[in-house]
Structures are given as structure tokens and as C-alpha cells.
Structure 1
Amino acid sequence: MPEVPTGARHVLILGGTTEARRLAAELAADTGLRVTSSLAGRVAAPRLPAGQVRIGGFGGAEGLADWLRAHRVDAVVDATHPFAGTMSFHAARATAQAQVPLLALRRPGWAAGPGDRWWYADSLDEAAGLLPALGERIFLTTGRMGLAAFAHLVEPWFLVRSVDPPQPPHPPRMEVLLDRGPFTLEGESALLRRHRVEVLVTKDSGGQATAAKLTAARAAGLPVVVVRRPPTPEGVPVAEDPAGAADWVRTTLG
């Protein structure tokens, strides 16, 4: 990593996503910037980005605002997962309090194409409510943190894929597959056949790393339940890729 001179502008990246790591790598190569990436700490062995790294929460919006002031942060990029809604709203409140500019880095969501059989839900609870009418063998790819929404479904069988082992509450009939993307179309198609999957459930995370499952489900004619993203806080500008976010940082900091 290049040596950072005294007086470099301090950029805080909130994230742990692929886009956050790419942005950190680009900004950390700029000798006029000091980059700190903040990871939530929910994954046991996260992929660490370039620059400085902190792990753990801030203590809500007020705690984050205090941290921004104490560490003299000049700009914040919210590059958290599209479903990390609470953190995004904390970031909006904190940066407003500390008077620090904020950008949201959000990869575009997925869009249904010809042959897709998608059902949309606004929450995991709503997604769970759709399943009894769609099938009995469910491939659940919504992460380990939201399994409680499906715990009351005692009849279906679930294949749950996550990076780390899930904790209760969770569905009683469940097999866990510990894995991390990116995934291939061949691998996803074989997985659906091997486990005789009848329904896929996913969040609209966007990106290519986990999109192969959607193509595999389309080819197999399977229904897909897609949980919509929470909204980005009102008034926060959005970049769709790391290059756009890097341009915003440099323009904002002059």
C-alpha cells in the first residue's frame, strides 16, 4: 500500500461487499487519501480490503457520528449489502449530524427475463407465506440471519446455503450447505438436480457472484421468490459501481 502523507483526506467505507473491496483498493492507491473500511463482523473470516480495517458496530447513528468526528473523516461511502437497511439509515443520520458527505454504492438489482417465473415479496415473512403454494423442497439463499422467518414451516424441506453455520431458530427440516460465491451455472444446475429443488428463494442482491442460480432456476422451470430491497435513505446520492463511487470521492474532496 502506498505511503499516506500527513494531512491526507480520510474516507470511511462501510461494507464488506465485493464492490466495497474494489473501491478500497482503488482509493488506497491514491497517496492523497487515507482509507478505512468498516466491516460488521458477522462473517467469521471476512475477505479484508486494502487500507485500514475496523470490525464491529459503532453503537448506532450517534456512535458513528462520534467516530466520524473523532477520526476526522472527510467522506463516507455506504457500500454495505443492499439489505443492510439499518446501517444505511444510521449512516445517513450520522453523516448529517457530523456534516460529512455521504454516497451510497449500490450494485443494480436483478431483472426478470423471458422464461423466468418470479414471485416478489417485500420481506422474508412475506416470502415464507408464498412457499406452501409453490413447492416442498426449498433452496433458501437469503443468508443465515433471517431463518427465523421460515422456522414455523414444518412441512417443507430446506436447503440453506450460507457462509457461516446458522443458529436457531430455523426450519426443523433443513440441510445446511456452507459455501461462498462466486458460483457457476454448471454448479448451480447440478445442485438443483441433486437436491431435487422445487423452489428458489433469494434476496435481490444483484451482481454476478450469485446470479447463476437464477439462470439455473430458469432453465429448470422453477419458481423463484425474490425479496425486494429496502429503500436507500432519501436524499443520499447513489453510484452503481466502484468507479463511479471513486469519481464521487475525488470530486467531493477536490
Structure 2
Amino acid sequence: MTVLILGGTSQARRLAEALAGTNAIVSLAGATRAPDPLPLSTRVGGFGGKQGFQEYLERHSISAVLDATHPFADRITTRTAQICSQVNMPYLQLLRPGWSAEPGDNWIEIHSEQDAVDHVPIGSAVFLGTGRQTLDRFANLKGRELICRQIDPPNDPFPFSGGRFLVGRPPFSVEDEVLLFSELGIDYLIVKNAGGAASRTKLTAANHLGIPVLMIARPPRGNWQIVETVDAALKWVRAL
């Protein structure tokens, strides 16, 4: 039996570590140039669309797909679930729980990046913890200073005026984030509700500093099988 793990999250890494020594394969999209090595056979890059993915499943005799991609990788997840359903292949999404506001948090839920303009005054310094993939969606935030953090040094300049990149590799402690936000004079933090303990530190830092957070709501959940923990995903694999 060969399980294909669609990775890119800390949960996918934990799955890989637990399944070390098996025939499982991890697939990474390639968003990070030099990801830390995994204890399983690893491929990097896209599949070439629906047909390419189907051909990969056949060529490598994949028995099941465990989707542990980012909670906002909804297009990849939907396509994968549909293909697996069509070929009658077991499919499971590991979707970690989203964040919930805690005492002292000042969160404003928005449903898209473009909605931020309605809540961030001109002249504000904004920290974007949303990644570079959707950066172009903030182009309407003219007159604000935008700082986008990413893991790898950028290949291209910031896509519009008024912004800059900040390179940094996680994990970041609460103390690190408090110091950074203070030094940068951040007025607003914008993040996707990705969930996860490791990346919550920026939210805790914003709480300590009284910084409002614009929280981008998650895409709707699919109607396929979903679990929220690594243990539950491993149980599913072992039951195949």
C-alpha cells in the first residue's frame, strides 16, 4: 500500500515522521525553496493539473491520498477530493482547527483580502502574515505601509507601491513578535485563520500590544471525510 501525503504543514511533517519506513510519499508544492528534509520519499512541484495528477496516481500505484495541505489551499483540496472520488480512491483531509479569539483579542473577521481596505485607515502600518501567494489582493490598500513576511528572499520587487518584504524563517516566539511589531510600529495585523499553535505567536503578540487583527475567514468545509488531528489521520491510514 502506498499513501500519498499532500504536505506543506507542520501536521504533514508529523505524519511523515510517524510513517517513516513505510511506502508513503510526501508531495510538496514548492512554495519554500529549501524545505527541511522529511523521512519519507519526497517530490516537489505541481502535478500538471487534473490529468497530470491522475497519471501520477496510476504511475506510482497510489492506494490512498491524505491531504494535509494548508487550510486555505482550497482549490487543491477540492480538486484532489473530486479526483479521488471519481477513481474510487480513499481520500482524507487533515484540517487542523481554526483559531478562536481569547480574552483581550481585538479581531475583525473579513471574508477576503480585498475587504481589509474597509477597516485599515490611510497612513497605518500593516503587517501581512498572509504569505506572498495572495499579496496582489491587497493592492487596494493604497496610502498604507505594508510589510509582508516570507521565508525566502523575494525574486521580484513588491508588486505595488507602499510595501516591502521582510524575510524570516519560523518558528517565531511571542517575544520575537512583540519586539518586531514594536520596532516596526505596526498598527494592524492581517492573517488567515490557518490555526496551529506554532503560528499563533503573532496573535498573542498583537494581544499584548493591543494591535487589532483582521482575521480572514476560512473557505467553507467540503463534504468529504475530514479529521482534525494527526492521531486521527494515522488511525485512518492504519485502518486502510
In the superposition, the TM-score normalised over structure 1's length comes to 0.88
Which residue pairs with 1:22 in the alignment?
A: 14
Match of 1:211 in 2: 200
- The match for 2:150 among 146, 153, 162 is 162
Q: Secondary structure at the match of 1:28?
A: coil
Q: Is the 8 A contact 1:140 1:158 kept in 2?
A: yes
Aligned residues: 239
Q: Separation in 2 of the partners of 1:82 and 1:246? A: 19
Is it true that 1:241 corresponds to 2:225 in the alignment?
Answer: no
Over the aligned positions, Cα root-mean-square deviation in angstroms equals 1.7
Specify the SS of the correspondent of 2:119. Answer: helix
Residue aligning to 2:46: 57
Report what 1:108 is aligned to.
97
Cα distance in 2 for partners of 1:90, 1:119 equals 30
Q: Which moved more, 1:123-132 or 1:165-174?
A: 165-174
Equivalent-residue separation in structure 2 for 1:127 and 1:152 (angstroms) = 9
Choose 38-47 or 189-198, whichever is displaced more.
38-47
Q: Is the 8 A contact 1:217 1:224 kept in 2?
A: yes
State the partner residue of 1:131: 120
Cα offset for 1:192? 1.2
Q: Which letter maps to 1:208? A: A
Q: 2: distance between equivalents of 1:16 and 1:190? A: 28
- Alignment partner of 1:250: what SS? helix
Kindly provide the CA deviation profile for residues 127-173 of structure 1, in whole angstroms up to 9, marking residues without a partner as x.
3443237x611011100111111223221111211112444663412
Q: Return 5+ residue gaps in structure 1 as ranges.
A: 1-8
Structure 1 residue 233 displacement after superposition: 2.4
Q: Percent identity?
A: 41
Matches of residues 145-160 of structure 1 in structure 2 within 5 Å? 145-160=133-148
Residue in structure 2 matched with residue 74 of structure 1 by the alignment: 63
- TM-score norm. by structure 2 comes to 0.93
**1:38 offset after TM fit, Å?**
0.6
Q: What secondary structure does 2:25 align onto? A: strand
